[in-house]
Amino acid sequence: MPAEHPCLTCGACCAFFRVSFHWSEADPALGGQVPFELTDPLRTHERVMRGTSQKNPRCIALDADIGRYSRCTIHDRRPSACALVPASWEFGAASAQCDKSRLAHGLPMLTPADWIDVDESEKNPLPAA
């Protein structure tokens, strides 16, 4: 039986980092997919996911009990900044962002062993370069 993707029992990155991105990603007139109502202005050309630009960040789109279950309610429409952060060892290398956020929430860093039984179809596709 395939193992569950480790991100589905984590959520640490969504409750640790500020998620900022170019404003056009939340502009439907320009093909942006991030729901505008879930964002706030940040700088002239940037928006931020609501809840992530504060002392104790937590993305408004996060449905999670950190370390037990985690779901992004807009996963198919998430900002590029989110899609660019791989889980450690998901693609054969450690991820400093993943490790840092997991440690901050008292979770162990992922290892290559965490991916042994995860079906390849369950892994997040790498974004196009």
Scan for tokens 């985690």, then name that residue.
70
pLDDT digits (tens, 9 = 90+) for 86-102: 999 998 999 999 999 99
pLDDT digits (tens, 9 = 90+) for 107-127: 999 999 998 877 666 666 545
Rounded distance, CA 71 to CA 17, Å?
16
- Domain residue ranges in the chain: 6-116
Q: What residues contact residue 98 under an 8 Å CB cut-off, 6+ apart?
A: 12, 13, 85, 86, 87, 88, 109, 110
Rounded distance, CA 62 to CA 79, Å?
13
How many C-beta atoms surround the C-beta of residue 29 within 10 A? 6
pLDDT digits (tens, 9 = 90+) for 41-85: 999 999 999 999 999 999 999 999 999 999 999 999 999 999 998
